[in-house]
Amino acid sequence: MHTYPTQAVILAGGQGSRLRPYTDDRPKPMVEIPGTGTPIIGHQLSWLAAEGVTDVVISCGHLAEVLQEWLDSADLPLRVTTVVEPEPLGRGGGLKYAAARLPAPDQPWYATNGDIWTRFSLREMAAFHTERDATATLALARPRIPWGAVETDEFGHVLDFIESPPSPYLINAGVYVFSAGFAELLPDRGDHERTTFPRLARQRRLAGYPLPNGAYWRAIDTAKDLTEAAKELASGGPGRPVSPVSPVPGVEHLPGHPGGSGSPVGR
């Protein structure tokens, strides 16, 4: 019988420069998904609560007071604590700083980047993490390339044109499951994707969980992402975004882009 995490960290300190002018007066997680009236972080908190999370620590930075004021006035589905880094600590340092405020340091925990809008079963990801006895597990997505591709044969004849084909590479989807001792492995300052993750990968203690077919995932990094998210929301009905791509058996093709919060695994 699996015991699922009930605590999580949200990294919400980025400046969101590629989302300007939306982020001129608010941090990126406070940007609203068009048609919902709710900021990105509101969707994240609802999702985490639905997955059994009762306590969340939010790491704030850019315009932290705007996020804190919204949290103070919102009807939240779980308990939320905010922390503000005394100085920029990098992604790994910020994650470690926030994790120190988790209510149960001896228990596993989830984490997500503050610009991810997604829906899938965190409990299934946690079970995957436990079954592989991993120290850390990251969700993996396969986004579509934003350009059209040309398919040719060995003689150079053009066979087909493929609009926005799936990337041949999996990317880090910005959602994680961590075992209790993971925080101790994080740097006090710097990027855990360049230090902690590669070390765990060499030790075979890092697992990758492919998002299941039909799961929705998008990194909200640019104004175009907001527009696309609104279209997907409209096509799926209120509060029920759907993936606009057709799944290939055994491989998940998801909307998104190569930049932003998603980054190639191992880089």
Q: What are phi and psi of 152, to 5 degrees?
A: -125, 165
- How confident is the model over 117-129, as pLDDT tens digits? 888 999 999 999 9
pLDDT value, residue 25: 57
pLDDT value, residue 223: 65
Angle at 256 between CA 258 and CA 197, to 5 degrees: 55
pLDDT value, residue 145: 76
- How confident is the model over 189-241, as pLDDT tens digits? 888 888 999 999 999 999 999 988 778 887 776 667 766 776 766 665 434 44
User: Closest by alpha carbon to 149, among 158, 138, 137?
Assistant: 158
pLDDT value, residue 237: 41
* Contact between residue 97 and residue 88 where contact means Cβ atoms under 8 Å apart: no
Strands (E), 71-148: 79-84, 109-113, 116-119, 136-141
Neighbours of 30 (CB within 10 A): 23
pLDDT along the chain (267 residues), means of 10: 85 67 65 76 90 92 80 87 85 90 93 87 94 94 82 90 82 92 90 91 94 80 69 56 32 31 32
pLDDT value, residue 249: 31
pLDDT value, residue 14: 67
Alpha-carbon span 241 to 64, nearest angstrom: 28
Task: Report yes or no on whether pTM surpasses 0.85.
Answer: no
pLDDT value, residue 15: 64
